[in-house]
Amino acid sequence: MQPTTQARKSLHIRQFLAIGGGQAIENFDWMIYGLVAAYIGPQFFPGQGPVQSTLNALAIFGVAFAARPLGAVIFGPVADRIGRKPMMLWSVGAMSLFSFLMGVMPTADTLGIWAAVLLVSLRLLQGMSIGVEQPIMASYGLEIAPKGKEAWYAGLLQLCSNVGVLLASLIAFFSALFLGDTGMENGGWRIPFIAGGIIGFGVLWLRRNLPETVDVEKTQHRSSREVLRAVRANPLAVLAVILVVGGTQVLNYGWNSGVPSTARAVFGESGTLIFGLTSLLTVVLMIMTPVVGKLADHFGMGRTFVWTRLLSIPCAFVLLLYANPGVAAFVMAMAGGAVILPFALSFFNAISASLVPAGHRVTAIGIGYSLGVACFGGTASYLLVWLNSKNLYWVFPVYIALILLLGVLLYKATVKRTGIHDAVYSTAEPHRYSQAEHAAKSQST
């Protein structure tokens, strides 16, 4: 008996929620730390002043990114060998557990310096789990997307990422609204971490029925060493992914974490105002990312990527508007992010995935993504706050411009040398490609 159209539609919705839910919880767990860093700092680094304790907390935010390449190297080959689904279940489960533990852990008042050690340990473990979640989503999204609508589907998944950021911002906003800054410092910061853990376990339950997108019978016989050898044979693509991701994340973390942290720690703005505007920015991103994905499919992902990155370079200098405290300047700086970020975030995952053959896609993207986020995204918030405290705010947009330009140049060099790799034949949807297309794609990977 064939399933009805309504039943198939319901199945596709559940699959999308399971896939996109991982994107949402990853961004929720990761971004909430940056949003409440100004409240966390004094709890784990007491007696150092608001700016220095916030910088210490943001340093842990950056250090945790160092674990992401390790997670990609360890777990990426597993996803390329035994399939995407097992690692998708592991990664979201681990992220949720470590988020929950951060919400209930003791502070320096109880453990002294060991509280900071425990915080670093949990962030590093969470970094390892996220180190494989994002590349799996980039790969799986390209492989399961409707043919010819890869950028649009990537935009929908990015919308889910923005849902996670929005949810983090809203929970932080309402916590600050009802508890006040004093209440947030006295334990209110725990609420978002606990909520993230609970939501993540719900996503884990949804993922249990996801289809596999690789032929495990053919891939499981390879060793992890063979997968890593294939990655090493394609260094230009990995380097391109690093800069594509780096340009995206320095913009993302600069606006979503760095600017709010600067507003709170350096300029002393109200937490309610900061979280409210951060939430509004996320709503704009949610609306625009699928639209930008549609445009990219129409004009071509590669062409759209190159031109939007180049046009983002002058727009990055809008950050200079917030070199001094003031509500109007903060609003204008965040408005600039509303213009730049949709084009930066909508389909960069599909662009990255298209640079690597499917046989070692998760591993290569995982290494490139982790290094790109660690080197550029993980340091963005700290760098922005530090530069502002030294009256060198103007350096940050120059830094952004250089990363964006290098990313475009490396992308074009990689495409010229190795071409573009589309999704391969999917065992979940065998009707998507003809046998000729399947044969051609198998030979290319």
Domains of the chain: 11-207+222-444 (1.20.1250.20)
What's residue 440's pLDDT?
41
pLDDT tens-digit readout, 173-221: 888 888 887 888 788 888 888 988 888 888 888 888 788 777 666 666 7
The answer on pLDDT for 262 being more than 80 is: no
| CB 312 within 8 Å of CB 343 | yes
Both tokens of residue 198?
A: 């609970």
Range in 92-96, 275-279, 322-326 the model is least confident about: 322-326
Residue 433 binned pLDDT confidence (cut-offs 50, 70, 90) = very low
In this structure, of 79-88, 100-109, 431-440, the range with the lowest mean pLDDT score is 431-440
Q: How far is CA 245 from CA 26, 312, 323, in A?
A: 16, 15, 26
Residue 425 has what DSSP assignment?
-
What is the pLDDT of the chain when averaged over all its residues? 79
Q: What is the pLDDT of residues 271-318, one digit of tens each?
A: 677 777 777 877 887 888 889 989 998 888 889 999 999 988 888 887
Least confident of 98-107, 111-120, 328-337: 328-337
pLDDT beyond 70 at 9: no
Packing angle of the helix pair 361-372, 113-144 (nearest 10 deg): 140
By the 8 A CB rule, do 62 and 254 touch?
Answer: no
Average pLDDT over residues 314-334: 75
Query: Which residues lie closer than 8 Å to 47 by C-beta, 6 or more apart?
Result: none
C-alpha–C-alpha distance, residues 309 and 307, integer Å: 5
11 pLDDT more than 60: no
Confidence (pLDDT) at 388: 74
Q: What is the pLDDT of residues 349-399, one digit of tens each?
A: 889 988 988 788 889 998 998 888 878 876 777 787 788 778 887 888 899
